[in-house]
Structure 1
């Protein structure tokens, strides 16, 4: 049985690597009394697929992971068992069974949406909106990351600015998250001249390719 889990990743686990998160899931499945499937071969590996690595320090509002189980329990029961077994910082919101031999989860993901909350900004929402509008009007935004030059502009698929109920300015972004392109919202903030310590990023959703949506 292949299940797809939707979960939140927050708090103490914000700076936990993708590899460590996979280990956490493996241990949590065992702790819940569920039977995890393993790959075949000389070095069997647990059949777990994380949709897309979440950068360190990002909150994950709707992260996705596929896990293969030798178990026939209903999704709601599995959800309850796992929520009692995962560490603080992970909370499962949904469990669904999916086609066991369907495409791998990472190959189904096309993009990510983000909310970037400004924490210590003296700028008005009008000024931030004007800055984002100027950015979107540009044909290219040359950047350098890890000593490599690239154009940030085509990676900004959508961008808007609003205020949240607390009155803080929030920038909403949609950027690619697939095998050919990955957009980084912190690079957008750097282009806007907003220091790293002045914002908090939440990945709000993972967007499937149209044929898998």
Structure 2
């Protein structure tokens, strides 16, 4: 299909999961130039490709079905765009789909899913922790950006469960935020598994304009901002990464 704006699905895995969002932007620009794709550029003193990621991927996390939108100055075939990018992509980065979208369309995430393999001896304990977490009316975490505060992320938890020795975090994404996978892993007591070599994967980024109508009418993202409270000054808060400002990322919110 011919068009000048494309929505691309891609996989970022292997050692490339350690590549930051900012560095991924640089890699993508080089790929576009080497593939000979006539991309639109941003304005300002440091112009770059006009690309929008639906949701930036946390450092160290494998992305299995990520989303980026690309604008071109000339019409191209979606198959040629996909082939051109994959020809220039480094190992660990693979584009799986390319679809033409209207120029005014923006990929807005609705739901994201993470998965973490668990050692068999930890699965039962993790499942109990998941049930206890979902039974709470409020799940408070501490945030430092854009200002230090406590945030109740319970409304963002669609499902947190263990199946077949795999922890699955099924999270709503709204215009006001979402839950962070690293925070939930700490609350569930399994964050040490990352240091032990287990790799967290994001297996799904569901977009608003692609989501099918739910069978259950109540199975929809929440409205409005999450509850907040003053931060506990006695509690140490781990450093939280800042998303790159070199590209507009509408899904990359302060609550992610």
Q: What TM-score, normalized to structure 2?
A: 0.71
Counterpart of 1:208 in structure 2 is: 207
Q: Does residue 138 of structure 2 align to residue 140 of structure 1?
A: yes
Q: Secondary structure at the match of 1:35?
A: coil
Q: CA deviation at 1:144?
A: 2.2
Match of 1:62 among 34, 42, 65: 65
Task: Give me the CA root mean square deviation.
Answer: 2.1
Instruction: Could you tell me which runs of 5 or more consecutive residues in structure 1 were left unpaired when the two chains were aligned.
Output: 164-168
**Residues 53-81 of structure 1, C-alpha deviation per residue, up to 9 Å, x if partnerless?**
11001100001111111343321122111
Aligned length: 202
C-alpha change, 1:43 and 1:188, in structure 2 (3 Å) is closer
Q: Does residue 26 of structure 2 align to residue 23 of structure 1?
A: yes
Of residues 150-159 and 1-10 in structure 1, the stretch that sits farther from structure 2 once superposed is 150-159
Asked whether the 8 Å contact 2:16–2:92 carries over to 1, the reply is yes
Query: Comparing both structures, which one devotes a greater share of its residues to helix?
Result: 1
Q: CA deviation at 1:141?
A: 2.3
Q: CA deviation at 1:171?
A: 1.1
Counterpart of 2:227 in structure 1 is: none
Q: Does residue 78 of structure 2 align to residue 82 of structure 1?
A: no
Counterpart of 1:13 in structure 2 is: 16
Q: Does residue 158 of structure 2 align to residue 157 of structure 1?
A: yes
Asked whether the 8 Å contact 2:29–2:48 carries over to 1, the reply is no
Of residues 6-15 and 36-45 in structure 1, the stretch that sits farther from structure 2 once superposed is 36-45
Of residues 28-37 and 64-73 in structure 1, the stretch that sits farther from structure 2 once superposed is 64-73
Asked whether the 8 Å contact 2:172–2:178 carries over to 1, the reply is yes
Q: CA deviation at 1:137?
A: 0.9
Q: CA deviation at 1:82?
A: 0.9
Asked whether the 8 Å contact 1:22–1:50 carries over to 2, the reply is no
Counterpart of 2:102 in structure 1 is: 99
Distance in 2 between residues matched to 1:15 and 1:42, nearest whole Å: 28
Of residues 170-179 and 3-12 in structure 1, the stretch that sits farther from structure 2 once superposed is 170-179
Q: Does residue 186 of structure 2 align to residue 190 of structure 1?
A: yes
**Segments of 4+ moved more than 4 angstroms:** 40-44
Asked whether the 8 Å contact 2:156–2:173 carries over to 1, the reply is no
Counterpart of 1:166 in structure 2 is: none
C-alpha change, 1:9 and 1:43, in structure 2 (3 Å) is closer
